[in-house]
Amino acid sequence: MSLRVGLLECDHVDDRFRSIAGDYHDMFASLFERATVDLDLVRYDVRGGELPATVAECDAYLCTGSRHSVYDDLGWIKQAAELVRSLHDAGRPFVGVCFGHQLIAEALGGKVELSATGWGVGVQPIEIVRTEQWMAPHATRCRLRFMHQDQVSRLPPEAVLLGHTDHCPIAMFRVGTTMLGIQAHPEFSIAYAEALLDARVALIGADRIDEARHSFESSTDERAVAQWFAQFIAGRGGVAS
């Protein structure tokens, strides 16, 4: 029986880009299918105010990225942070991607800020500083696509750093045995990432965007990371290094 995973949608893909790879639900469903990971994704439109009635509605939760910042003064973000705290207290598995990664930090006592070195975009290698049993296949680094301006600047109490990049010192971490965050976007296709870059030249800068486009020529490890997600939320192998 597949795990029932609540997909907490903290944004939706713009209509102008929807034809590329669908909405975020479609991207994550495709990611797990390509990685031969069997998960039953249940959608919650968190940005629209839809939340699970109880944390027990799903076996685990996966939180998407967003164009918003976790420190924005918006009611739905405050509700999402409260949900993270409830999931943490209940020991219910949670994986946060980009905004979701930052939400864990912000909700549990860490800090998120604008990156002092600007946007992090393109394919970047995450150096794994702590290898744990659920990280199978094992790797000392994983290459993934990034697209972010905010990043975690201080870990929450009792968090464990798992990986970093040159641009992002806290690129992957966990809190306890049930909360996992990653700054990268394993769900993004090259075509979707390129469309976002094309739309953000004025924000990011032409030189950095050219570097990001060139980086898309290199291979990435999103299938392995999708397997890590599934094994983490299933509690397989514990967290011992």
User: Considering the chain, what percentage of its residues have pLDDT values greater than 90?
Assistant: 96
Question: pLDDT tens across 181-232, in order?
Answer: 999 999 999 999 999 999 999 999 999 999 999 999 999 999 999 999 999 9
CA-wise closest residue to 150 among 117, 194, 126: 117
Residue 185 annotated in active site = yes
Residue 63 catalytic?
A: no
pLDDT over 80 (residue 237): no
If you search the block for the tokens 């750093």, which residue do you land on? Answer: 161
Q: Is the pLDDT of residue 238 over 70?
A: no
Active-site choice (58, 63, 98, 142): 98
* Extended strands (E) in 64-223: 94-97, 111-114, 120-128, 141-148, 150-154, 159-164, 172-175, 179-182
Helices (H), 13-138: 18-21, 24-34, 75-90, 99-107
Span 86-100, average pLDDT: 98
Is 187 assigned a catalytic role?
Answer: yes
Angstrom distance (rounded) from CA 80 to CA 154: 20
Q: What is the pTM of this model?
A: 0.96
Structure confidence at residue 39 (pLDDT): 96
Mean pLDDT to the nearest integer, 116-138: 96
What average pLDDT does the segment 88-98 reach?
97
